[in-house]
Chain A
Amino acid sequence: MTDTKTTLDNLIRHASKIILGKEHEIRLSLACLLARGHLLIEDLPGVGKTTLAHVLAQTLGLQYQRIQFTSDLLPADILGVSIFDKSDSGFHFHPGPIFAQLILADEVNRATPKAQSALLEAMEEGQVTTEGETRPLPTPFFVIATQNPTYQIGTFPLPESQLDRFLMRISLGYPGVEAERALLTGQDRRSMLKTLSACTDPAQLAELQSAADQIHASDALLDYIQALLTFSREAPQFAAGLSPRAGLALLHAAKAWALLDGRNHALPEDVQTVLPHVVGHRLRSATDDLEQSPETLTALMQSVAIP
């Protein structure tokens, strides 16, 4: 237990050197990774989404690929394509960028639904089927998708069913005053990235993921999660309640958060910390189509008593 805690603290410390003042967000994305979920970052361009993905890949020692989504992106651009080779008169599969351990799907809502679904299918299945042949994706497989705020022009907002594939949705936001000053005066981030050494390898990461699974969730904690789910289903302000998959996501994320905190059991506070990020993109307000504001989610949290 202490080793895992040291490893994780070490990871966070390394990452925080490059991404300044965003330790909470780094922890959340790590928790997401430990819970074997995919991450959606919704924010304006230039706040460090790509850098965060890069840093995570580097520190965790994962292969990294970036896919820039555009409106003319085709599924083959993501998955790969077979090309005729004259030398042996046969087709050879050239794997697409999806075949990597950590994918940054940049501006995922700029692509057409067809291209989006190719990515999202891969995320769900952990494998890719092209030209009648199924090829497994590497493990661990972790997607960080970024998205511009949906009200921007030229976007295809992800449908609810596809949003549900992401375990968490976070936003980075602008850095604080001090962090921004340090950013302006400090070294170039890109060159710093190159010097960043890996703290773990994929095998260690798999161990950490199974450690997160082992975190104990007591009856009292499960009661609390169920109370939250029930409230979301009965309260009139939501169009539809949370699905069982959302309940599982909440539990796994809370466990991963407990692991990051160095505990062997999850607490209600863990649930409350991850709740807005796990639930925010899955709930819709009953009256208008706008998604829930963070204040509404806080209100949801405050209406449910901890049993």
Chain B
Amino acid sequence: MSAFISSLKQHVHQAKSENLWLLAGLSLGLFPHFARLPLLITLPSATLLIWRLLYDLRYFSLPPQWLRWLLTLIAISATYTSFHTLIGRQAGVGLLVIMLCLKLMEMDKFRDVGVVIGLGFFVIITVFLFDQSVFTGIYMLVVVSLLTTSMSAFSREFSTASQWLNLRQANTIMLQAVPLALLLFVLFPRLPAPLWSLPSDTFGAATGLSDSMSPGKISHLSNNNAVAFRVQFDSEPPPLNKRYWRGPVFTQFDGKTWSKPSTYQMNPVDEAAASFSYRTLGEPVHYSITLEPHNQKWIFALDLLATLPANSTLSPEYEIISKHTIEQLIRYPMSSYPDYLLDVDTLPNPAIYLQLPPDSSPRARALAKQFRKEAKNDADLVQIALLYIHEEPFYYTRQPPALPDDPVDEFLFDVRRGFCEHYASSFVFLMRAAGIPARIVTGYQGGELNPQSDYYIVRQSDAHAWAEVWLPQKGWQRIDPTSMIPAARIENQQDLARILPDIAQLGTPPNWAKAAWRQLQFGLDRVNHAWNQWVINYNDDRQRNLLNRLLSSFGFGEIDWQKMITLLAAGMGAVLLLIAIFTLRSWRRPQRDLVVIAYTLFCQQLARRGIQRGPAEGPVDFSQRAQQLRPDISPAIARITALYLHLRYAPQARSTQRNGKQAPPKQLRHLQAAVRQFKA
């Protein structure tokens, strides 16, 4: 870069290809930000880019200095107006983007070009603060290529007619950098915790389940195709009706919203385990989950979990709560028992699970009383309630009407159209009104196997709410009232496929375009999954595991950061050496002329004393320069040069090649002797 800046050219020309490369790279690099930032930043930045382009095409001149100052002030105030701050991720990037575009207004020296290109590379880094998908990675690689091309074009002493030459040079440099980048990525020691934390607004946009449930909270997720997490089963996956991924559990109802009690206490894991009594049946399933960041502390697992991930605790409702907010992709191995008995003998604190807001929903309470009269026992009552949902005209819909006053009564008796949260909420209300302890469980249900690989994708649209009721001698039982709705009353084919997959398969065969599109999506998801596994989630654990596995056969022992640094240095050195050898390539043709060998030795002697012969410096010129610098050995230099010139350029009868058939001329021996005796 320093050589690049101190290039002979001092001023940037207009309308030269290098400017266009730079502008193309900057525009592409800024584009993802433009799509995200407010119009107040995007519009002026784009205008400035176009201004510079028009200047380079000689349609426009650059603004004078006073106007640049004014624009800077306006830019700062625009950023402040948009974000009410100048720091943080959004505001910082906004300021960076607009200031970079402003810098283009005064880019006329090579120093400025250096600044702009450097900032351009920094902008690329900031794009990854928002999105780290593999596609962004590939896109940014193109931007890096363009910026490097502009660097190559700017650093050229002569402009070249062929722009492919610049592009080729840039891509050669990038290709040469690939092994170095891979080495750094694999071997640079990862820290268990990040050195600095990302700004607090980084993960604000993450979606997922929240810490309360009211009508509409889950249904707004139903159209969200984003991935919640991916699951890889090590053993046979449980059937669909057992694939309930447990998330937040709610016990407290205020007539509209389900939430956790305000005095909610997090138990340490052993204490929590002590407060439960559970029995597991059958074999456990083993699997690992790669959870997308969702900005909450929930960690999802199948019921009933047998292990706890690191850095997490278990709540009394059997939720896994992480110690930290999930702001980054995490991956954890899990085991669960799909068949289990929970709290069979006694329920520790039944009052919590019978709480209802006083005097609400009188019609539902009456219905519960009627159920109680009809039922022989609690289990019978649950069946009666489920049958009620099955037989009365309840509909499953994604667009439930608003239930402004009393969600439970209005849903059960007037509207009868709703989403899983309505069913779960009303069902738990009925159970509690009938005196059966019950609670709401939210989480995800099902998941879709990626047919091109062997993992399941669980999406936000799989978010679900169901009920758990406590029955004597049986403990907590999972009841999913939504599944009681007959197929005919499910409005949406997709929902039907999710809730009743067996029936949905009998429908119309999917057309080939749809099938191809699905296959493509699965393929892309597979790429993303691999990217998450190996790039985004390549943390200290994975690094150590990988390196130990790779290096175990070399007798390296347990890897630590000193060994990683040593390996890294050795690897980088080896790569650089290889590149140097391929670039220089002079070793390919060994010198065979004895005259040249002797003269080269002589030049090396002088070079050791700081008198270096330039590649294009003629022997006479070099001799004169050397004699001036070292008058003390001037005669020796003159003699050697004279012999060399005579042997190399004057007409010769005999060959001076090594292993020649004839004896070499006697001057060659003189030259060799003189060089041997020569001491600079």
Interface of A toward B, CB cutoff 8 Å: 216, 218, 220-221, 236-237, 239, 264-269, 272, 285-287, 296, 299, 301-306
Contacts and interface: CB of A to CB of B under 8 A. Distances in A.
A272 B617 CA distance: 9
Contacts of A272: 616, 618
Contacts of A216: 649-651
B649 A306 contact: no
6 contacts: A265-B649, A266-B649, A267-B645, A286-B159, A299-B158, A306-B618
Contacts of B649: 216, 218, 220-221, 265-267
A268 B599 CA distance: 15
A276 to B, nearest CB: 13
A264 B651 contact: yes
Interface residues of B, number: 21
Interface string B603-641: 000000000001111111100000000000000000000
Contacts of B165: 236
B262 interface: no
A167 to B, nearest CB: 22
B162 interface: yes
A220 B620 CA distance: 15
A236 to B, nearest CB: 4
B149 to A, nearest CB: 15
B351 interface: no
B616 A236 contact: no
Given A236-B161, A287-B160, A306-B615, 8 more contacts: A218-B649, A236-B160, A237-B159, A264-B651, A269-B619, A269-B621, A303-B616, A306-B619
B616 A302 contact: yes
Nearest to B614: A302
B636 to A, nearest CB: 20
Contact of A267 (B159, B162, B615, B619): B619
Could you say which of B159, B162, B165 has the most chain A C-beta atoms within 10 Å of its C-beta? B159
B157 interface: yes
A239 B165 CA distance: 15
Nearest to B616: A302
B650 A218 contact: yes
Contact of A287 (B161, B618, B648): B161
Contacts of B158: 236-237, 285-287, 296, 299
Contacts of B615: 302, 305-306
Contacts of B160: 236-237, 286-287
Contacts of B652: 218
Contacts of A304: 616
A299 B157 contact: yes
Contact of B617 (A237, A287, A299, A306): A306
A303 B158 CA distance: 13
Contacts of B619: 267-269, 306
Contacts of A286: 158-161
B651 A268 contact: no
Contacts of A264: 650-651
A305 B600 CA distance: 14
A159 B210 CA distance: 81
Contact of B162 (A236, A296, A303, A305): A236
A304 B618 CA distance: 11
Given A236-B160, A237-B158, A296-B158, A268 B650 contact: no
Contacts of B614: 302
A266 B650 CA distance: 8
A50 B162 CA distance: 43
Nearest to A215: B651
Given A216-B651, A218-B648, A299-B157, A268 B618 contact: yes
B157 A269 contact: no
Contacts of B645: 267
